[in-house]
């Protein structure tokens, strides 16, 4: 367990905890949400080659990837000029288009974005 840590509540955490009134309720809500999120990340993702991961990382390289940008990954991959040996962009676009939002989030998270 981590000792008490200050956490900045940006808009997502503020919305998540808006109805709660005390520290234990807020802490409980954040921890339950994080536990469920980690389970989603464990169960989702895509089987990607290193070249495919490199292409997605190139597309995401500007940093934070918002939910709408995650939904548009296939489109962004189709537009990128990124090339790598072993990369079939058309096949990657098809994988991304067929993937669930949860799978796409897991890919982006695994790449550190």
| The predicted structure's pLDDT at residue 62 | 76
Check: CB of residue 84 under 8 Å from CB of residue 51: yes
Kindly state whether residue 3 falls inside one of the protein's structural domains. no
- Residue that the structure tokens 């389970």 belong to: 39
Looking at the fold, whether 78 and 103 belong to one and the same domain comes out as: yes
d(CA 88, CA 92): 6
pTM: 0.86
| The predicted structure's pLDDT at residue 37 | 95
Domain coverage including residue 37: 11-43
| The predicted structure's pLDDT at residue 63 | 79
Number of domains in the chain: 2
What residue ranges of the chain have pLDDT lower than 50?
none
Looking at the fold, whether 67 and 106 belong to one and the same domain comes out as: yes
């Amino acid at each position: 367990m981590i000792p008490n840590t200050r956490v900045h509540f940006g808009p997502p955490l503020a919305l998540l905890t808006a109805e709660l009134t005390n520290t234990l309720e807020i802490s409980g809500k954040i921890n339950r949400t994080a536990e469920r999120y980690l389970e989603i990340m464990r169960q989702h993702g895509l089987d990607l080659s290193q070249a495919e991961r490199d292409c997605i990382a190139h597309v995401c390289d500007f940093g934070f990837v918002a939910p709408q940008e995650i939904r548009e990954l296939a489109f962004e991959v189709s537009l990128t000029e990124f090339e790598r040996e072993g990369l079939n962009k058309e096949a990657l676009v098809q994988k991304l288009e067929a993937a669930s939002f949860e799978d796409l989030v897991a890919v982006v998270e695994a790449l550190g974005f």
